[in-house]
Amino acid sequence: MSGRLHPDIYKESVFVMEINLDKLLAKRTGKMTFKEISKFPCINQDIAVIVDKKVSAKELMDEIKKAGGKLFLGSKVFDVYEGANIGLNKKSIAFSLSFGANDRTLTDEEVANVMKNIVERLEKQFKAELRK
């Protein structure tokens, strides 16, 4: 069952629905898994690198994941820039990176070491330059 709350109850458009989990779970296929949400905060770091135009954000993200190790939680591209101050046949790609652990709050030193590994790997694999 689903529907909209009456405007006398709430002026904004609010919708509600009921889900029968027994029926939903009975239809599942395969093994279900879950990952516990950490009680500890994650740390976000931004990084921008200048690479050849032919290098894709996906390639960079794959290497970032490898270099990030077990503390790496994920990455998102938030900017791609091409312009005169970057260089001919070059582009800048900026990422927001997330790090964390389920058993503790990470130290600045731990994150700095992972970031150093990431930068070194991108420099080696793609001749990337850290954009400042």
- The answer to whether 50 and 119 have CB atoms below 8 angstroms apart is no
Contact at 8 Å (CB) between 54 and 45? no
Classify each residue of 102-118 as buried b or exposed e, where b means 16 or more C-beta atoms within 10 Å of its C-beta.
Answer: eeeebeeeebeebbebb
CA distance 7 to 5: 6
Residue 32 or residue 94, greater confidence? 94
Higher confidence at residue 4 or residue 107? 107
Nearest partner of 102 among 14, 41, 45, judged by Cα: 41
The pLDDT value recorded for residue 32 is 73
